[in-house]
């Protein structure tokens, strides 16, 4: 059985977290890994739909996800997680809970994230229609020491970034 792990993609909305996570998932699936994907939008639709976006609710959201990730990884599942997870404290809690935790900070600049905003969330946040929006009126606390930091500003670099993440994962798991 292969070792379980948690790849935790964090960054602003529109940074490219889900795009990278999906590509990593596809590559690992082809290699026969037992995987599960936990994406912020999907989790909020099903597992944490009772929560809003206050600091307290965001913490509860991440705590629930961390518990699920811990259970899965403990049983040999590779967990690919994509969450804004704006607060260091919550990310550190996930790190402590989950074996083979790898934090991947997608450090795409805010202006690029806003340009990619197909849902119009940044525009609504800037108009005051959405409160507590990360990067606008709620902070994003950058990771101090992520295992991997990538900038998702250029879509043509996706394959290169995916390979960087896979190389790191192989080193951590001691696999080829």
Catalytically active residues, by annotation? 85
Cα-based distances in Å from 144 to 4, 32, 103, 115, 147: 24, 33, 10, 26, 10
Q: Which residues contact 47 (CB under 8 A, 6 or more apart)?
A: 64, 65, 68
Strands 78-82 and 35-39: parallel
CA distance linking residue 112 with residue 176, whole number of Å: 35
Residue at token pair 């596809």: 26
Per the CB < 8 A criterion, the answer to whether 164 and 120 are in contact is: no
Per the CB < 8 A criterion, the answer to whether 69 and 81 are in contact is: yes
């Amino acid at each position: 059985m292969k070792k379980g792990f948690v790849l935790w993609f964090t960054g602003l909305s529109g940074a490219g977290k889900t795009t990278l996570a999906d590509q990593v998932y596809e590559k690992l699936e082809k290699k026969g890994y037992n995987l599960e994907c936990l994406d912020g939008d999907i989790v909020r639709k099903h597992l944490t739909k009772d929560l809003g976006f206050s600091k307290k609710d965001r913490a509860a959201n991440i705590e629930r996800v961390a518990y699920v990730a811990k259970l899965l990884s403990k049983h040999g599942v590779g967990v690919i997680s994509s969450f804004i997870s704006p607060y260091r404290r919550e990310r550190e809690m996930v790190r402590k809970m989950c074996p083979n935790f790898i934090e991947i900070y997608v450090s795409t600049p805010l202006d690029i994230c806003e340009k990619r905003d197909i849902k119009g969330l940044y525009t609504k946040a800037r108009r005051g229609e959405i409160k507590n929006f990360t990067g606008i009126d709620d902070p994003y606390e950058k990771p101090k020491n992520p295992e991997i930091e990538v900038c998702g500003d250029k879509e043509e670099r996706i394959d290169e970034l995916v390979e960087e993440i896979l190389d790191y994962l192989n080193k951590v798991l001691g696999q080829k």
